[in-house]
Amino acid sequence: MKAIASTIPAYHRALTVDERAVCERLQQEIQRALPGSESSIWHGSPVWFIDGNPVVGYHKLKDGIRLLFWSGQSFDEEGLTPEGTFKAAEVRYTDADQIKVTHLRRWLRKAKLIQWDYKNIVKRKGKLVRIESRGGRAS
Protein backbone atom coordinates (compact mmCIF):
# COMPACT_ATOMS: atom_id res chain seq x y z
CA MET A 1 0.00 0.00 0.00
CA LYS A 2 1.36 3.39 -0.94
CA ALA A 3 1.57 6.03 1.75
CA ILE A 4 -0.90 8.87 1.68
CA ALA A 5 0.51 12.19 0.53
CA SER A 6 1.75 14.18 3.53
CA THR A 7 -0.23 17.21 2.36
CA ILE A 8 -3.61 15.49 2.80
CA PRO A 9 -3.57 15.48 6.63
CA ALA A 10 -2.69 19.20 6.47
CA TYR A 11 -5.76 19.71 4.23
CA HIS A 12 -7.88 17.92 6.84
CA ARG A 13 -6.52 20.04 9.72
CA ALA A 14 -7.84 23.19 8.03
CA LEU A 15 -11.44 21.86 8.13
CA THR A 16 -14.14 22.03 10.80
CA VAL A 17 -14.58 18.99 13.04
CA ASP A 18 -17.58 17.73 11.00
CA GLU A 19 -15.86 18.29 7.66
CA ARG A 20 -12.72 16.58 8.91
CA ALA A 21 -14.72 13.53 10.03
CA VAL A 22 -16.23 13.20 6.54
CA CYS A 23 -12.87 13.59 4.79
CA GLU A 24 -11.02 11.22 7.09
CA ARG A 25 -13.64 8.51 6.59
CA LEU A 26 -13.50 9.03 2.81
CA GLN A 27 -9.70 8.93 2.87
CA GLN A 28 -9.68 5.65 4.82
CA GLU A 29 -12.08 3.97 2.41
CA ILE A 30 -10.26 5.28 -0.67
CA GLN A 31 -6.87 4.11 0.64
CA ARG A 32 -8.36 0.70 1.46
CA ALA A 33 -10.01 0.28 -1.96
CA LEU A 34 -7.17 1.73 -4.06
CA PRO A 35 -3.96 0.65 -2.28
CA GLY A 36 -1.77 0.96 -5.40
CA SER A 37 -2.96 4.45 -6.24
CA GLU A 38 -1.05 7.67 -5.72
CA SER A 39 -2.54 10.55 -3.76
CA SER A 40 -1.77 14.23 -3.74
CA ILE A 41 -3.28 17.64 -3.35
CA TRP A 42 -4.26 18.52 -6.91
CA HIS A 43 -5.90 21.85 -7.74
CA GLY A 44 -6.23 22.39 -3.98
CA SER A 45 -7.97 19.11 -3.11
CA PRO A 46 -7.03 15.52 -2.19
CA VAL A 47 -7.12 13.34 -5.32
CA TRP A 48 -6.17 9.70 -6.00
CA PHE A 49 -4.62 8.66 -9.32
CA ILE A 50 -4.08 5.33 -11.04
CA ASP A 51 -1.19 5.45 -13.53
CA GLY A 52 -1.38 9.25 -13.47
CA ASN A 53 -5.10 9.34 -14.23
CA PRO A 54 -7.36 11.02 -11.63
CA VAL A 55 -10.07 8.64 -10.39
CA VAL A 56 -11.49 10.01 -7.12
CA GLY A 57 -11.11 13.02 -4.88
CA TYR A 58 -12.98 15.26 -2.48
CA HIS A 59 -13.08 18.89 -1.52
CA LYS A 60 -14.80 21.36 0.74
CA LEU A 61 -17.66 23.41 -0.61
CA LYS A 62 -19.77 26.02 1.20
CA ASP A 63 -22.43 23.43 1.97
CA GLY A 64 -20.33 20.34 2.71
CA ILE A 65 -17.84 17.94 1.17
CA ARG A 66 -18.08 16.86 -2.46
CA LEU A 67 -16.78 13.39 -3.35
CA LEU A 68 -16.02 13.30 -7.06
CA PHE A 69 -15.45 10.29 -9.30
CA TRP A 70 -13.91 11.42 -12.60
CA SER A 71 -15.56 8.54 -14.50
CA GLY A 72 -18.60 8.24 -12.23
CA GLN A 73 -21.25 8.80 -14.92
CA SER A 74 -20.17 5.47 -16.42
CA PHE A 75 -20.74 3.57 -13.16
CA ASP A 76 -24.52 3.37 -13.74
CA GLU A 77 -25.13 3.89 -10.02
CA GLU A 78 -27.87 5.57 -8.03
CA GLY A 79 -26.65 8.13 -5.55
CA LEU A 80 -24.15 9.77 -7.90
CA THR A 81 -25.09 13.01 -9.65
CA PRO A 82 -23.52 14.02 -13.00
CA GLU A 83 -21.02 16.87 -12.65
CA GLY A 84 -19.61 18.98 -15.45
CA THR A 85 -19.48 18.34 -19.17
CA PHE A 86 -17.37 15.17 -19.20
CA LYS A 87 -17.90 11.86 -17.33
CA ALA A 88 -17.61 12.95 -13.69
CA ALA A 89 -20.23 12.29 -11.02
CA GLU A 90 -20.44 13.41 -7.41
CA VAL A 91 -22.10 12.92 -4.06
CA ARG A 92 -22.11 15.48 -1.23
CA TYR A 93 -21.89 14.99 2.50
CA THR A 94 -22.37 17.29 5.48
CA ASP A 95 -21.85 14.58 8.12
CA ALA A 96 -19.78 11.40 8.25
CA ASP A 97 -22.90 9.42 9.21
CA GLN A 98 -24.34 10.14 5.74
CA ILE A 99 -21.63 8.00 4.10
CA LYS A 100 -23.11 4.66 3.09
CA VAL A 101 -19.98 2.55 3.19
CA THR A 102 -21.42 -0.28 1.07
CA HIS A 103 -22.22 2.22 -1.69
CA LEU A 104 -18.86 3.94 -1.37
CA ARG A 105 -16.97 0.66 -1.59
CA ARG A 106 -18.94 -0.38 -4.69
CA TRP A 107 -18.25 3.00 -6.33
CA LEU A 108 -14.55 2.70 -5.50
CA ARG A 109 -14.39 -0.79 -7.07
CA LYS A 110 -15.93 0.68 -10.21
CA ALA A 111 -13.52 3.65 -10.10
CA LYS A 112 -10.67 1.17 -10.35
CA LEU A 113 -12.18 -0.67 -13.31
CA ILE A 114 -14.04 2.05 -15.26
CA GLN A 115 -11.85 4.96 -16.28
CA TRP A 116 -11.84 7.65 -18.89
CA ASP A 117 -8.42 9.01 -19.84
CA TYR A 118 -8.34 12.45 -18.23
CA LYS A 119 -4.55 12.32 -18.08
CA ASN A 120 -4.32 12.81 -21.86
CA ILE A 121 -7.39 15.00 -22.46
CA VAL A 122 -5.31 18.08 -23.36
CA LYS A 123 -3.13 16.08 -25.75
CA ARG A 124 -6.32 14.78 -27.39
CA LYS A 125 -7.70 18.33 -27.65
CA GLY A 126 -10.60 17.78 -25.25
CA LYS A 127 -11.56 14.33 -26.50
CA LEU A 128 -12.12 11.81 -23.73
CA VAL A 129 -11.26 8.17 -24.47
CA ARG A 130 -12.22 5.21 -22.32
CA ILE A 131 -9.30 3.24 -20.86
CA GLU A 132 -9.60 -0.50 -21.29
CA SER A 133 -10.47 -2.27 -18.04
CA ARG A 134 -7.53 -2.23 -15.68
CA GLY A 135 -8.73 -5.41 -14.00
CA GLY A 136 -7.41 -4.42 -10.60
CA ARG A 137 -4.03 -2.93 -11.52
CA ALA A 138 -4.39 -0.54 -8.60
CA SER A 139 -4.37 -3.36 -6.06
Domains of the chain (ranges, CATH numbers) = 7-131 (3.90.1150.200)
Do 138 and 50 form a contact (C-beta atoms < 8 A)?
yes
What does DSSP assign to residue 77? -
Q: For residue 50, is pLDDT > 60? A: yes
Do 23 and 92 form a contact (C-beta atoms < 8 A)?
no
What is the reported pTM?
A: 0.87
pLDDT per residue as tens digits for the range 34-47: 999 999 999 999 99
- In this structure, of 1-15, 29-43, 122-136, the range with the lowest mean pLDDT score is 122-136
pLDDT of residue 85: 81
* Neighbouring C-beta atoms of residue 128, cutoff 10 Å: 15
Residue scoring higher pLDDT (119 or 27): 27
Instruction: Supply φ then ψ for residue 127, to 5 degrees.
Output: -90, 130
pLDDT of residue 135: 53
Interatomic CA distance for residues 91 and 104, integer angstroms? 10
Interatomic CA distance for residues 76 and 69, integer angstroms? 12
